[in-house]
Amino acid sequence: MKAFITKAAAAAIVVFARAVTAVRAIWPEEGLPARPCVYFANHSSHGDFVLVWTVLPPRLRHQARPVAGAEYWLKSQLNRFIGRDVFNAVLIARERDQRTEDPVTQMASAIDAGSSLILFPEGTRNQSDAPLLPFKSGIFHLAAARPDIELVPVWINNLNRVMPKGEIVPIPLICTVTFGSALRLAPDEAKDTFLERMQTALLALSPKPAGSGE
């Protein structure tokens, strides 16, 4: 019965997300990796990972696990059901003194088990005027721990207007989720160089301002 309820909830979330956002996925020419990978995206709304998860083809969606804060997804029975059962999220304790396992180890273990990850390297929602906040080092340490893993940049556009901070009821607007070409950690690549390269790849997918000529 629980498995049926979980599948029904997942299907309902996909239908709701598509109805509210009319989301459209834009794929790279070569398509998405067939093997487990890391989708890393910009972060401006609570619904970001839902939208990435929604637009993935069913086969890839079933193996994709969002990386999310344990404090939020374990705070109530409903949250636990959605976070653990529906999304099978990799739940990371934000407070170091609350951790019983290293976050990189948690993520690497999920990859080793055949899962892809949906990751937000900014670490928190971007409420500033900057297109991206500085990336945290977690994505570098994960790539260093699993250097063969492919890293797919994903730009989510317009969702911050659908679900503004502090709002409960979404505002119906068209959103796009743009996937870029897969990247990898280069041999002996320094952390700062790697993080800058990942940020550049992600920003390259963002919509260009009108009149920019690009």
Environment class of 126 (CB within 10 Å of its CB; exposed 0-12, middle 13-18, buried 19+): middle
* 40 Cα distance to chain centroid: 5
Cα 183 to Cα 192: distance, rounded to the nearest angstrom: 16
CA 132, 134, 135: angle at the middle one, nearest 5?
100
C-alpha distances (whole Å) from 3 to each of 82, 91, 104, 123 are 13, 20, 29, 31
pLDDT given for residue 130 in this prediction: 85
> Where are the chain's structural domains?
2-203
Euclidean distance between CA atoms 99 and 187, whole angstroms: 31
- Cα–Cα distance, 36 to 120 (Å, whole number): 17
State the pLDDT at residue 203.
96
| Tens-digit pLDDT profile for residues 50-74 | 999 999 999 999 999 999 988 888 8
Q: How many residues does the chain have?
A: 214
Q: CA-CA distances (angstroms) from residue 154 to 3, 118, 148, 211?
A: 30, 9, 19, 24
168 DSSP 8-state letter: S
Please list, in sequence order, all residues whose beta carbon lies within 8 angstroms of the beta carbon of residue 114, skipping any fewer than 6 positions away.
Answer: 36, 63
- Over residues 157-168, the pLDDT tens digits come to 876 565 555 555
**Residues 97-152: pLDDT tens digits?**
778 889 999 999 999 999 999 999 998 888 888 889 999 999 999 999 999 999 99
Q: pLDDT tens for residues 19-38?
A: 888 889 999 999 999 999 99
The one-letter code for the residue type at 160 is: N
- The confidence score (pLDDT) of residue 54 equals 94
Q: Give the CATH superfamily of 2-203.
A: Glycerol-3-phosphate (1)-acyltransferase (3.40.1130.10)
